[in-house]
Amino acid sequence: MRLRSKGQLTVPIEVREHLGLHEGDEVKFVIQGDAVQIVRAKASASPGRRVAARLRGRGSSGMSTDEIMNLLRGED
């Protein structure tokens, strides 16, 4: 494995699969003497949950969820 000019490394697929890592997951490096350990930084939310968290509270229609769902379903 070679360190790139910007300090980037590619984590081998076997390691990602073993740790259950996916794009967007956060990891941290733990230094132990001359060795470095890669560990999950925290319980990372799925991409869908991250998008939902960003959008939460942004609605400004003044309508309730039920009113919006009825409108989308074409119900009165």
Per the domain annotation, does 65 fall within a domain?
Answer: no
Burial 5-21 (b: 16+ CB within 10 A, else e): eeeeeeeeeeeeeeeeb
Among the ranges 31-35, 40-44, 52-56, 70-74, which has the highest mean pLDDT value?
31-35
Task: Report the pLDDT value the prediction gives residue 68, as an integer from 0 to 100.
Answer: 85
Please give the average per-residue pLDDT across 15-29, as a whole number: 86
Secondary structure letter of residue 42 according to DSSP: S
pTM for the whole thing?
0.47
Q: Where in the sequence is the domain holding 42, given as residue range(s)?
A: 1-56
Task: Report the pLDDT value the prediction gives residue 76, as an integer from 0 to 100.
Answer: 65
Per the domain annotation, does 26 fall within a domain?
Answer: yes
- Quote the number of domains for the chain: 1
